[in-house]
Structure 1
Amino acid sequence: MKVGIIGCGNIADTYFQSQNLYNNINIISCADIINEAAEKSAKEHGVKVQSVEDLLTNKDIELILNLTIPSSHREIIQKTLVSGKHSFSEKPLAMNFQEGLELKKLSYEKGLQVGCAPDTFLGAAGQKARQLIDENKIGKVSLGTFNMMSHGMEHWHPNPDFFFKPGAGPIFDVGVYYITQLVNLLGPVENIISVSGTAEQERTITSEPRYGEKIKVETPTTLMAVLEFANKTKIQLFAS
């Protein structure tokens, strides 16, 4: 399958390198609103540079890999489907549940596939855990907890602004890996009790090249919740 990438930020290299592990995908083109980023990726990985619009209409491309910032995901996925191409996107799929449903409806209408990270639950550890639960090797799972804590992305990412805007934050950016794994193991969530907060209204970047620059925090940076699954398992969540 021939693939085009839209969004050539930090995570793009991981996807370019991953194609070497498989024999059924071939990344042939890339685009970014910052043309220098696209040119850098193209030079390093030997692919063609195109504008976003030209990549969307490229008849050779069958699937578009959406690696843009979270607030752009829905728009790019929608344009991908309208262009008659399959889509795989970094998380989140959209900014809210309703937008996600609209993308699902459009994909059905177009007869196209839409996928979204994280897919890590398909790995060996996740599948083994699922097997042990399905075979009742560990008994009934009644209670549990997970904690995800980090100082923040401003100390290592060159452009960390989007981590602190709507569509990101600790749940959409990292916590989603744990929640997806839990849904795979335990089934759907039926009830949620949660609170959130923000300790600092701005962050100071301590990574290069923007060391010392202040950025505004526009989304909660700490969330606490209890998830009750349909099978009545209860999991405590803390993400910050």
Structure 2
Amino acid sequence: MLNWTLYKREVKNSVKMLVIFGAVITMYVAIIISMYDPEMMVSLDKFYELMPELMASVGMSAGATTLIGFMISYLYGFILLLFPMLFCILRGNGLVAKYTDKGSMATLLAAPVKRKTVALTQMSVLISGILILMIYATGLEIIIAETSFPGELVISELLKLNAALMCLHLFIGSICFLASCVFSDTKYSIAFGAGIPVLMYVLQMLANTGEKAEAAKYFTFFTLFNADGVVAGESNAIIGAVVLGIGAAVLYAGGITVFCKKDLHI
């Protein structure tokens, strides 16, 4: 059960952040999709040849021949990974640890509301925010692609791709939520809730450069998100997305369990 009064208040607190990240995503998606044309792709490929390691580190690659391939190269290695991840980090910390750190948790629990209800409500706020960003990004991509290049985008492929991306961000959100539930001090909640996803992304950047750093892919969960593989329908890529989804469910449940049992000193 959720506490709908608390849910509505927290969702309202998420609006400003959602608008900011939504605006940033809108700008990048619009610019990058509009760049899809043979002449521009040749220029981008030449730029890639000048700095292959730098481009590869943020998931960008040369030689895309389709619109979805172009979008994967220039949106799904950096923009649509980084900004939703920042939302998870910032919002996740403010849902539980911030209240405990400031002593406001006593107010939340003063009413006849169970801890589990509070935890489930706060978790739902974070998940709602992630879903809103992913649904918005998907709709935006479809509208811009169909407006600029009618018939070029295979929508079914985009839906599969963004479903896998959503699993990734739900997993990142679960790490942030768990850290917020475990630690009563926001500095520790942020250190772990932000530190782990950021470290994993840095390792993925190193892995993308190849050669000696390629082994780093075995130490980051971002490897489980294989955009090209998902679009191609590869079983390993689909399994990777499912693992992220299951992992998210486990960590969210873990966060609720920890919050219900911890001593809040209130």
Report the TM-score, using the length of structure 2 for normalisation: 0.27
Q: Select the structure that is richer in strand.
A: 1
Q: Select the structure that is richer in helix.
A: 2
Q: Which has the higher contact order (CA 8 A, sep 6+)?
A: 2
